[in-house]
Amino acid sequence: MKQKEYDQKFQKYDADGSGGIDQEELFEFMSEMVAPLKPEPADIDFIYHECHFDKDQPIMRGSMPVLMPILVEWSILHKAAAVAAEMVQLARELDTAVGTKPHEFVKKKPEKSSMCSVL
């Protein structure tokens, strides 16, 4: 990302024009990155910790090159976790529909097809 892009992001999320992004503004920023999901308070804490920011101070414009890569990584992980949770739910629904448990399904040996018996 170039400085101009950092500046544009910063201006967009510094909603009150204070010259810094506070926790509420960071929450909005993060919410847009993972919409329709929403970040948790622990996610805000994570970002402050990873960037070594003082939680009582707003994030300043000069911190954007540090903040953005961490936010991008966080958003990818957040979305991946949501997809994984959805896959687990679908697997449970499939287990219920089929009447097996995942380990039972995997352990079953495939039956030989008529093609195999010819060979």
Q: What are 5-40's pLDDT values in tens digits?
A: 888 889 999 999 999 999 899 999 999 988 888 898
User: Which residues contact residue 101 at a Cβ distance below 8 angstroms, ignoring those fewer than 6 apart?
Assistant: 95
Q: How many CB atoms lie within 10 A of CB 14?
A: 19
Banded model confidence at residue 108, pLDDT cuts 50, 70, 90: low
Q: Give domain 3-118's CATH number out of 1.10.150, 1.10.238, 2.40.128, 1.10.3470.
A: 1.10.238
Domain spans, the chain: 3-118
User: Which residues contact residue 102 at a Cβ distance below 8 angstroms, ignoring those fewer than 6 apart?
Assistant: 91, 95
Q: How many CB atoms lie within 10 A of CB 110?
A: 6
